[in-house]
Structure 1
Amino acid sequence: MEVGIFDILLLFSSLAISLAVVVPLAGVLVRFRANYNPKSLQLDPEDGPQPHTGPIINSYFGMFKRVYQLERLSGLYKGFMPTFLSTTAVTLVLLLAMDDPKPRHGRYSAPDTGVLGTLFYGILMSLIGLPTVILTYRSTTTPHKLPWLNLMQSLRVLLTPTERRRPWVLYLTPGLLAAEFAHVGYVTLVLGTLRRLLLPALSKPGIPTPSDFPPLRTIIYISVVVVSTVVLTPLEVISTRLAIQRNHALSEHNSVSQEVDGDAEDLPEYSPEEDVIGLRNEEDPYIGIVDCAQRILQEEGLRALYRAWWITMLGGLAAAFT
C-alpha cells in the first residue's frame, strides 16, 4: 500500500491530538502511583522519629487537581517529549518498514503469530522501550523544568553519571525487568491464551459479528479480565516505583549507592514552595520486585499497590476486544 502526503499528515495530526489527551492523563497516573505516602513515622539516621511531610493524595482525580493547582498546564505535559519521540519513531517504522499507515497504540499489539510469538514480541518491545519508559516516568516526576529542546541537559538531570556513562545499567535497575516481563507474560500467556480459546474470532482477520460472542464465553472472559486487575495493578505500581529509582555509583554491596550529581541545580522548579508528590529516599532503595512489594505493603498499606486499579481494569477491557 502506497502512503501519500495526505495520509502522513492525517496520521501525524491524529497522533498529535492523541498525545494532547493521553500525556496529561498518563502523567497524572504516574505521579499518583509514584507518590510516597508512608502510614507511620519514619526514622532519621540517628533513629529519631520524623513525621512524613509529603502530600497525602488518595485518588487519581485528587492528584490531577493537585498537579494543575501547583504546576498548571505546563506541568500536565511533563513527559511529553520522550512520549512524542518514541511514538513518532514507532510510527515511522510502521510507515517505512511495515508499509502500514495505521500505528498500533496497544502495548502488546503484535502480528497474529500465536501465543509464543506474541510473547516473544511483547518481551522484545519491552526491552526496546524500557529506556523510554524510564525517561518518561522520571521526566514526569521530576520537580525541575526540563528544556524541551535540550536533550543533553535533560539527560544530565534525569540520569545519574553512572547511567550516562553506562546506559545498559538502566536494564539492571533492580526488579524493573522482572516486573515488566511478569506483566507481559500474564497478559500474553493467561489473557491471550484464554481469549483464543473462548473468543477465537478476535484473533482472526476481519470484523467480528455478534455471533462470534457467545454470551457465556464472553461473560467468562470479561470476568477473568476484571479479576486480572488484582495481579496487573500491583505490577504496574511496582514498575512505576522501580523506573523512577535511579542507579547510582556501583559498589560491592549496593548497586544504587549515592553519588554526587548537581546537574539540576541551575534549573527552576515548577513548584519551589511545595512538592507536588513525595518520593522515597534514594538512600534506602528497593532492591527487587519482591522487596518493593513488601515495602509498599509495610510502609504504605495495601491500597498503595492498587492505586488507580480501575484504569488498569478499563484498559484491560479495551485491549481485550481490540
Structure 2
Amino acid sequence: MARYVKISSLGPAPCVIEAGGSAEEAVERMIAHWKRMLGFVLPDKPDLIVMPEACDRPSKAHYPKEERLEYYRVRGNRIRDYFASVAAEHGCYIVYPTHMQAEDGSWRNTAQFIDRQGKLMGAYHKNHLVPAEYDANGILYGKDAPIFECDFGRVAAAICFDLNFDELRLQYVRAKPDLIVFPSMYHGALMQNYWAYSCRSHFVGAVAGLPSSVLNPLGETVAQSTNYYPYITATVNMDCAVLHIDENGRQFAAIKRKYGPKVKIHDPGLLGSVLISSEADDLSVRDIIAEYGLEPLDDYFNRSLAHRCAPGHMEP
C-alpha cells in the first residue's frame, strides 16, 4: 500500500554569533535561529525534519573553541528540549545533529532522533570522523549503526565524512533501511546518489550552507534546495522496489493494463533498473511482485553471481 512520507531538510550556513557575549545569550540566539528556520517548513506539515551536522554549533569563524565549550555547558540539553517541544506540538520526527558530552566526559558527533511525541528514540554516533575531530576536540569514533523504527519506515543515519567509507555503507546494504538521513558539512556529490542506489533506499541530505536534497532509491534527485532558499520539503512513497529490466520487463505492460495509475513504473534511463511503486491503498508492491513473479534487483544480482560460479560455467 502506498506509504507517502513528507520530508523536510534544512541546510542553512552555521549561525553566526559573535565572540564576547554571554553563553546564555548565545543559546537564546541559537534557539531563535532554528525557530525562524523551522517556520519555513512546518506549514507543510512534514513527517520528518532533518537538520545539518552540528546544527547548534555557532560558526567557528566567529566563535572560538574556548567560548564554544562554555556555550555547550550552558546549552546542555536545552536546544534538544526545544526541538522535542516542536516535534510534540507538530506531530513530526526530528533529527537533531549535535556535539554532545557523555556522562564520562567524552564527546560524540551525534544525530539524535526525536519521535512524534517529543521523546528521544536514540542516537547515531558518527562512525568515521575526520581525524582532527578526535585530535583537536576529543570526539570519539562511534562504533554502531542502529536502525530507527519510525511509523513510516526504517531509518538509518550517516554523518558527513561517513559517506566516504564502504564499511558503513555495506552495513546499510545488508540492513535495507527505507531511508538514510545525512546531516553534514560536506555535500558528497555523486556519493549521495551512489549510497541511495546501492542501499536501495531513499536518501535525504541536510548540508550546512550547500544544497540539501531528497533522493529516490535509483539515486535520482527528487528535490533540492537552492542558493536562495536553504530548505526543502518533498513527499516520497516508501512502498517501492528496485527491479532490473531483464526478465521483469516483459511483465510491465500487463501490470499497467491491469492496474493503470495504481502502479507507477519509473525508468530513469541508462541504468537498466526501474523503480516500481504502489499508488493505491489496497495494493502493495509486495503483492505486485508476488502476482507477476517479479525478481527484486538484489535477488537478480545474487542469482547472476551464483550462476557465474556454478560448475562448468567459468573458464578453466
Which TM-score bucket, shorter chain as reference? under 0.3
- TM-score normalised over the length of structure 1: 0.22
- TM-score normalised over the length of structure 2: 0.22
Normalized per residue, the structure richer in strand is 2
Relative contact order: is structure 1 or structure 2 higher (C-alpha 8 Å, sep ≥ 6)?
1
